[in-house]
Amino acid sequence: MSELPRRTQALGRQLTGQISDLLLPRACALCWASGQAMLGQGALCRVCDRLLRYSSVQVSLASLPLTDLPVATAGSYSFELARAIGAYKNAGRRDLEPYFLSALCRSFDLLLTRTAASSLAGQPLYLVPIPSSRASIRRRGFAPAQLLAAGLARNLGSQGWEARVLPALRQRPAYRIYLQGGGALLGAQKTLGLEGRRLAVAQKMELASPAWSLGLASWNLEGRACLLLDDVATSGASMEAARILLEGQGARVLGGLALARVPKRQSGTGG
Ligand SMILES: [Zn+2]
């Protein structure tokens, strides 16, 4: 098929999708209410909309055991916020993104008041997404932190910041970790103590090379002001591993942003 009919077809599908969303709104991403309850609503019914807004205005700096970077989060990883993050990541409810972007903007505002980031006005700010594992990118078809970083960069841009996404990190393929003798740490993160988790996460993360099409051998990070971005902050292991890699290349890592922090009693898992 030639290029033009293909584009027309794609546009047609997109329009049909938008029209059916107007006529037949999707079910609420949290309680599955449908029909009347969803008329004129976005991803959530009115009740869940309020609950999610409420649970994502509890902005604070998280105290994470494995990093002393300031990490600002918009709420606790529980109830509506946890379910919304799950629906976004695992059920493809990308229509929740506006809620998450305003939550990240609130976290950003808090971080500004608490760190040297406030002295950055007028300088470019680089948002570095914490990389997802290759398996989860394949499963979901997208990397949540990277999409959120792109959305946040747009939102900050409209507030006068020069914010750019810098995908400078990635997860190493599992076979290379096995080859280098780190297999015992793979997949066992939930049963590892804090130190084990720090090692496991550090072993999985590495500097990414720029897309071939950009014609760069490596990212130039020297002196760049970076903010790390993740969906959920647990132990701080990922933020710390990212900070070490970026600072090793001369970047200035000012802090981290995440949608939610895992409450202490649950933080036995994750990065
Ligand atoms: Zn609902």
| pLDDT score, position 258 | 97
Q: How far does the centroid of ligand 1 lie from the alpha carbon of residue 123, in Å? A: 41
**Secondary structure (3-state) at 253:** strand
- Based on the domain organization, do 44 and 138 belong to the same domain? no
- Based on the domain organization, do 45 and 64 belong to the same domain? no
pTM: 0.84
Print the domain residue range for 198.
Answer: 57-266
Q: How far does the centroid of ligand 1 lie from the alpha carbon of residue 41, in Å? A: 10
Give dist(CA 39, CA 59) in Å, integer.
Answer: 30
Q: How far does the centroid of ligand 1 lie from the alpha carbon of residue 93, in Å? A: 13
pLDDT (mean) for 72-100: 95
pLDDT at 120 over 90: no
Q: How far does the centroid of ligand 1 lie from the alpha carbon of residue 242, in Å? A: 36
- Based on the domain organization, do 157 and 71 belong to the same domain? yes
Q: How far does the centroid of ligand 1 lie from the alpha carbon of residue 51, in Å? A: 9
- Based on the domain organization, do 90 and 218 belong to the same domain? yes
Q: How many domains does the chain have?
A: 2
Q: How far does the centroid of ligand 1 lie from the alpha carbon of residue 149, in Å? A: 26
Q: How far does the centroid of ligand 1 lie from the alpha carbon of residue 33, in Å? A: 5
- Based on the domain organization, do 197 and 214 belong to the same domain? yes
pLDDT at 190 over 70: no
Nearest alpha carbon to residue 199 among 213, 186, 217 = 186
Do the domain assignments include residue 120? yes
- Based on the domain organization, do 51 and 121 belong to the same domain? no
On the CB side of 271, how many CA atoms lie within 13 Å of its CA? Answer: 25
Q: How far does the centroid of ligand 1 lie from the alpha carbon of residue 58, in Å? A: 20
Which of the residue ranges 147-161, 177-191, 249-263 would you say has the lowest mean pLDDT? 177-191
Number of Cβ atoms within 10 Å of the Cβ of 77: 22
Do the domain assignments include residue 166? yes
**% of the chain at pLDDT higher than 70:** 82
Q: How far does the centroid of ligand 1 lie from the alpha carbon of residue 52, in Å? A: 10
Q: How far does the centroid of ligand 1 lie from the alpha carbon of residue 109, in Å? A: 28
DSSP per residue over 177-223, as a string?
HHHTT-GGGTT-GGGS-HHHHHHHHHHHEEEPPPPGGGT-SS---TT
| pLDDT score, position 146 | 95
On the CB side of 86, how many CA atoms lie within 13 Å of its CA? Answer: 9
Do the domain assignments include residue 76? yes
Q: How far does the centroid of ligand 1 lie from the alpha carbon of residue 44, in Å? A: 5
Q: How far does the centroid of ligand 1 lie from the alpha carbon of residue 151, in Å? A: 24
pLDDT at 98 over 60: yes
Q: How far does the centroid of ligand 1 lie from the alpha carbon of residue 15, in Å? A: 26
Q: How far does the centroid of ligand 1 lie from the alpha carbon of residue 74, in Å? A: 20
Q: How far does the centroid of ligand 1 lie from the alpha carbon of residue 48, in Å? A: 4
Q: How far does the centroid of ligand 1 lie from the alpha carbon of residue 155, in Å? A: 26
Give dist(CA 165, CA 105) in Å, integer.
Answer: 15
Give me the chain's average pLDDT, please. 86
